[in-house]
Structures are given as structure tokens and as C-alpha cells.
Amino acid sequence: MSKKDLVMEVKDFSFTYAGVDKPSLNKINLPIEKNKITAMIGPSGCGKSTLLRAMNRIHDLYTGNRYEGEINLYKEDDSIQNILKLKKENDFIQLRQEVGMIFPKPTPFPMSIFDNVAYGLKLSGLKDKAEIEHRVETALKGASIWNETKDRLKKSALGLSGGQQQRICIARAVALKPRVLLFDEPTSALDPISTGAIEELISELKKELSIVIVTHNMQQASRLSDSTAFMYLGDLIEYDKTDTIFLNPSEKLTEDYITGRFG
């Protein structure tokens, strides 16, 4: 795997939360491949969300966290940006438009469906109404929720079901045309049918962007992902092609977890 196939790369990344002595992540190394789905699995509390939330610097909304190492973003012009070096609000904004995030619970804003999806576009300074309408429609279609919402775009997004809300959140992120989308257990609050719809959507999305998904559902990881990272107590134990991780892992710990001996 050459660097050309990567969109991000985590290098020797350690992270300690404010007010805590013990690091939550120890020297993590993880490549994120372009137009692939990378899954992070591991028992609850092993640091999956912590790692994911470092990749768009959302941790920085809270003060006092300590970290070291590198998280590199490979830009479209082939330049390399260590996102841990960013300091200015403008740089964060740019990073977050390039690296979007979907949260465990649907988080529609208290505004209409249309305004939810248009929100990021308006933030990014897009003013042309026709263009915004076009991108909202494309994003809603891309998130396979256009048919359900096209007649009620002006209605509040809070009136939708949980699964629909989560797809609105995905549409909202996709509308910004990010290069990477980070999913933190996106289906943990949803029923099986909505979960199926979201999974299908995620597989579709990898044509256009690169995906990292945290899940505690091993079937989900094996169904969806191309590569899988197994984490345990703040360490990255094993990273490989998903088939290898699930069928022929090289670490005993991975095997024990996969076969359900703990977790």
C-alpha cells in the first residue's frame, strides 16, 4: 500500500484527557485508505471514539487535553498536513469541512429539513440560492432520503423518525463534499431496518469519499469495511484487511474478541 492510496494517517498518536493521568490512547498507528471503509472495533471504553474525535480536532472544543504524535491529512494537491499542528479557528473550520463527522445519536438542528442540509453550505459562504437548492437535493438523494422528504423540506427536522434524522445528518455532512467522513457508532440508536438503510448508504458513499466507522457491532464491521482496526485498552492491537482480521487474525487478543470470548 503506497502513500498515494492514503487519505489520512495516524502516527504514534497518544492522547490523555484533561484531569486524567492515564493516557486513553497509546502510540496509535493507523492508515486510512482512500475510498475505502476503515472500521474500528473493540470493547467499550477502549478509545475508539477518542481516536475518531482526534481526526477532526473536535476534542479541542474542550480545554486541557494532552496529545502527541501526528495525524496527517493527505491533501488533494498531494501536500501533507499534520492536523495536530492547526491552531487558528479558520484552519479548524477548513479541516472540519474536509473531514466530516456523524454522531452516535441523530443530531438534527432545531430548524427545517432544508435548512439543516443547507447549513454547512451557508457556513462555508455559499450564497447562490439555486446552487444551494441543487446541492441540498443532491445530498438528500445521496443519503437516500429525498423521496421521503421532498414534500416537507420546510418542516422541522425534529419531526422525522430517528433513522430519517440520521440520514439527514449524513446528507448534511455529504452536502459539504468532504473527503473523509467519520462515523461514531452511527446506528447504535436505531432499529434494524434503519440500521440496514444506513449501512447501505455508507457502502454507497465510499465511491465518493473515504470512511472511518467506529462500531461495537462486529457483524457491521465485517459486512461493511475493507480494513479493520482492533483496539483494546487504548492500544491498537491489530490492523489488517477485514477478511484477515475476522478469519485469520495474527493476535490472540483479536481472535478472542472476534470469537466473543470477551467484550
Partner 1 sequence: MGGTFFKNFSFFSATLSFFLLIGIFSILFSYAQDALHEFGFDFLFNEVWEADEDDEGGIFGGFIPIIGTLLSTLIAMIIATPLAMGIAIFLTEIASSKIAKPVSIAIELLAAIPSIIYGMWGLFYFAPIVQEYIGGNGVGLLTAGIVLAIMILPFMAAISRDAMQTTPAVLKESAYAMGATKFEVIKDVIMPYAKGGIIGSVILALGRALGETMAVAFLIGSVMSIPSSITDPSTSIPVLLANNFAEAQDLEMSAMYYLALILFIVSLVIISIAKFYFLRTKVK
Ligand X SMILES: Nc1ncnc2c1ncn2[C@@H]1O[C@H](COP(=O)(O)OP(=O)(O)O)[C@@H](O)[C@H]1O
Binding interface with partner 1 (CB under 8 A): 56, 58, 61, 63, 89, 92-94, 96-97, 100-101, 103-105, 107, 109-111, 119-120, 123-124, 158, 169, 172-173, 176
Contact predicate 34/96, CB 8 Å: no
Sign of CA dihedral 183, 105, 231, 235: positive
Reduce the DSSP state of residue 79 to 3 states and report it: coil
Considering only 7, 9, 24, 230, the residue that binds ligand X (CB under 6 A) is: 24
User: DSSP H helical segments within the chain, as ranges?
Assistant: 48-54, 89-98, 113-123, 129-142, 146-149, 162-174, 192-205, 218-224, 242-247, 252-258
Letter for the amino acid at 8? M
- To partner 1, the closest distance from the beta carbon of 30 in angstroms equals 20
3-state SS class at 101? strand
Instruction: Single out the segment in contact with ligand X by CB under 6 A; choices: 41-49, 93-101, 149-157, 168-176.
Output: 41-49
Closer by beta carbon to ligand X, 58 or else 136: 58
CB atoms within 10 A of CB 36: 18
Residue 46 binds ligand X, judged by CB under 6 A: yes
Residue 109, binding choice from Mg ion, partner 1, ligand X, none, Cβ under 5 to 8 Å by partner class = partner 1
Q: Is 63 in the site for ligand X (CB under 6 A)?
A: no
Between residues 46 and 95, which has the closer beta carbon with respect to partner 1?
Answer: 95
Minimum distance between the CB of residue 199 and ligand X, rounded to whole angstroms? 19
On the CB side of 109, how many CA atoms lie within 13 Å of its CA?
13
Q: Give the residue, chosen from 20, 93, 111, 247, that forms a contact with ligand X under the rule CB under 6 A.
A: 20
Nearer to Mg ion, 184 or 238 (CB): 184
The residue number whose beta carbon is nearest to Mg ion equals 49
Q: How far is the CB of 249 from partner 1 (least distance, A)?
A: 33
The one segment of 40-48, 85-93, 166-174, 222-230 that binds ligand X by CB under 6 A:
40-48
Regarding 47 and contact with ligand X (CB under 6 A), the answer is yes
CB count in 10 Å sphere of residue 201: 19
45 or 159: CB nearest ligand X:
45
Secondary structure (DSSP) of 6-58? EEEEEEEEEEE-TT-SS-SEEEEEEEEETT-EEEEE-STTSSHHHHHHHTTTG
Tell me the pairing of strands 66-74 and 6-16: antiparallel
Q: Min. distance of Cβ 45 from ligand X in angstroms?
A: 4
Q: Which residues bind ligand X (CB under 6 A)?
A: 17, 20, 24, 42, 44-50
